[in-house]
Amino acid sequence: MNRIIAPSILAADFNNLGKDIEMINQSEASYIHCDVMDGVFVPNISFGIPVIQHVYKIAKKPLDVHLMIINPDNLIEPFVNAGASIITVHYEACKHLHRTIQIIKNEGVKASVCLNPHTPVAVLEDIITELDMVLLMSVNPGNGGQVFIENTYKKVEQLRNLIEKHNPDCLIEVDGGVNYETGKKLFELGTNVLVAGSFIFNSENPTETIGKLKKL
């Protein structure tokens, strides 16, 4: 199983964002994870389309754009035009999830759905065949540097079983509290993509940290 690392630029140094993007370009990371927060769906506000556009200009890896926002439908096309290769929306934020997924697919990019820690995997049973990826939050969304929620391991196992039955090509991504210990177990349970922010960018050698995570 291919192991993918997606550094979250929410934890990057925004005074030197170009330098951090170049570091990711040269590393063994496969995606650049971009957390978009609106201050409504989650408590914080992060960045939006202008930042995605600038990152896209220098990025050599696909942009994995996680929309932590309400009413995402009207913003999917602008984010795709800004450079997103993968769009993730929250199950909890979408009144008509199937329609939202169709909008993403019609834009020609990969479609992903995120579940908050309290949301059971079973809610995806009727949509899993339409998805390219599922993102499980292993912390409460909105803040970096939180402690990993142990129940995530069980959810990965449940999701892996659902995917193997109905959509084997769908990837599992996990975001929050990822380090060498949690990352190793997540990979062993069938996770494909690890998102890490603080653990990578606060390390002494982020490039080396990315490489070690990929080899867990």
State how far Cα 3 lies from the chain centre.
Answer: 14
Instruction: Name the strand (E) or helix (H) holding 160.
Output: helix 152-166
Closest CA to 156 of 131, 126, 193: 193
Closest CA to 33 of 211, 210, 157: 210
Question: Which residue among 38, 64, 132, 175 is the active-site one?
Answer: 175
Tokens of 172: 């599992």
Closest CA to 192 of 210, 211, 209, 175: 175
Whether 19 contacts 209, CB under 8 Å: no
Task: Kindly report the backbone phi and psi dihedral angles of residue 140, in degrees, each rounded to the nearest multiple of 5, phi listed first.
Answer: -75, 130
Active-site annotation holds for 126: no
Question: Which residue among 20, 35, 64, 132 is the active-site one?
Answer: 35
Active-site annotation holds for 64: no
Residue with tokens 């556009």, as numbered in its chain: 53
State how far Cα 164 lies from the chain centre.
Answer: 21
Catalogue the active-site residues: 35, 175
